[in-house]
Amino acid sequence: MNESIELQDKTFVRYISAAELGIIVSQLADEINAYYSKFQLEIILVSILDGSFIFMADLVRKLTFPHKIHFVKLQSYDDMESTGQVKVLLDLDVDVSGKHVLIVEDIVDTGLTLESFKGMLTNSDPLSVKLCTLLSKPEVHNDIVDLDFVGKEIPPEFIIGYGLDLNGVARNLPDIYKLKI
């Protein structure tokens, strides 16, 4: 496996291996299973596209409670920065009123995406809304968003791989790489 890769005139170095990601996802699944195991109603999982598609696919195969899987496509990032605005590119196709919802995100940077999506969902009167993210950058969002299940906290690095992209590419990398500064 490459220790570093060149992409769009930038160098990225290997940061979180596929093996470590496997362990992180298994631990998260254990926590989520423990929390939802006693719920009587089926849970609505909402994956935020595009970045979370690989994480979601790995996570749901480890879940043991009844659930349904839905997707929304939100966009807040342009190049390597948050634009400060969240655009809904593909809306939710399920009525969440009276349902328990778990939102699944790849990474929380400013927290804007999750915060605004949670706000949109809350308008539909769900019974509960919980947030799960594979990665979190607490130094950037300063806990403005209340995260319920977090895989790993990282410093404010720009990272790619395992679903995360640089201008649409590199999502397929099995390991996560960080920008070398």
Binders of ligand IMP among residues 4 to 63 (CB under 6 A) are: 48, 51
Region near ligand IMP per CB under 6 A, out of 27-35, 76-84, 88-96, 119-127: 76-84
Angle (CA) 89 75 9, round 5°: 130
Active site residue 109: yes
* Per-residue contact flags (x/-) with ligand IMP for residues 96 to 135, judged by CB under 6 A: ---------xxxxxxxxx----------------------
Minimum distance of Mg ion from residue 143's CB (angstroms): 19
Q: Is 51 in the site for Mg ion (CB under 5 A)?
A: yes
Tokens 């496509």 label which residue?
73
Q: Is 175 in the site for ligand IMP (CB under 6 A)?
A: no
Dist. CA 50–CA 157, nearest whole Å: 19
